[in-house]
Structure 1
Amino acid sequence: MPSPLPIEDRIERAAQLVLRSRIFFDIWFYFEGADTRPHLLDTMNEFSEFFRFAPHAHFVAFVVSVAALFEKRRDTITLPALSREMARAGMLSPQAYSEVEALISHAEPLAGKVTILRHNAFAHRSARISYDDIFKAAAITPAQMRELTEIALKVANALLRARGHQEQFFNELAREDAETMMRVLQSATHNG
């Protein structure tokens, strides 16, 4: 079995996965959120074949990406595994490890909900439970999904700090681009 990638690379990849997860969430929520969707619906209907799948694709990408950060497999890059490995190797102080583990413990119930979606609706499609029942079983809200990304970023940043790397931050650029795109499309459809 090949050796794991260097710890520095795995920490950076985990941090990037956290950032991507949040981008996927933000774009999905922009198109599907109760506050924004009603204002976008006419334009989305004008381009129905694109918007029929685009928000859903971002949601699937969010679920698969954020669930990967808390995966139980030993051969994947996960925040809990990185935390344990760094603590064992003396790369994470006992205090930092304790703080990271508290964050991970707080994230686990939320990650479990997302994992239900990943394992039964998206990465695999359950033959035993309906799509709607999968979502009922997961019982996760958009606010909880956002919270999971925020906790994941705190963990990733603690690991990055411990190795002397620059912390990462969420930004609104992808959502702002989506808003600009919708304004252009709305203008084109109303002036055309």
Structure 2
Amino acid sequence: MRIITGLYKGRHFEIPRSFKARPTTDFAKENIFNVINGYVDLEGMTALDLFSGTGSISLELLSRGCSSVVSVEADRDHARFISQCMKKLGTDANILIRGDVFRFLKSCHQQFDFIFADPPYALEQLPTIPGLIFEYNLLKDDGLLVFEHGKQYDFSDNPHFCDHRSYGSVNFSLFRP
């Protein structure tokens, strides 16, 4: 796993083979960040990375200038790996929460400039996540939600939907308040 650009550009992290999480491919990550740059300037923003997995997106967000990133990951080993990556970078701008994303969404009282969610594609509650983010008012008025999902989902009827991008089997739907 590598960081594509920014402060930590080119840094590599070896993901343990035992991990169930699949990091967003470099190709998809690079392309979706090019799209994101057309919507928001990440410099100085607060970001939320839901279902952080390997921490690839959190690392990229920090490298691109986010002032703080909250990473939510339920798996103990994945959370430990994210913590180790942040220590290797020497950053304290990451707040790692090891816990259930749905519990976090319900109890969070903070708003974010940018939210990235990459749930497991087989997650039964996957289609509910964009609605919950808006129901709990977690995105600032000029914020952006990027939601990664499989090709079987179509969120274009969501009132907050603004864009869809597809890179191979990886799909992203973008939402704004």
TM-score range, shorter chain: under 0.3
Structure with the greater relative contact order (CA < 8 A, sep ≥ 6): 1 or 2? 1
More helix by proportion, 1 or 2?
Answer: 1
TM-score after normalising by structure 2: 0.28
TM-score after normalising by structure 1: 0.26
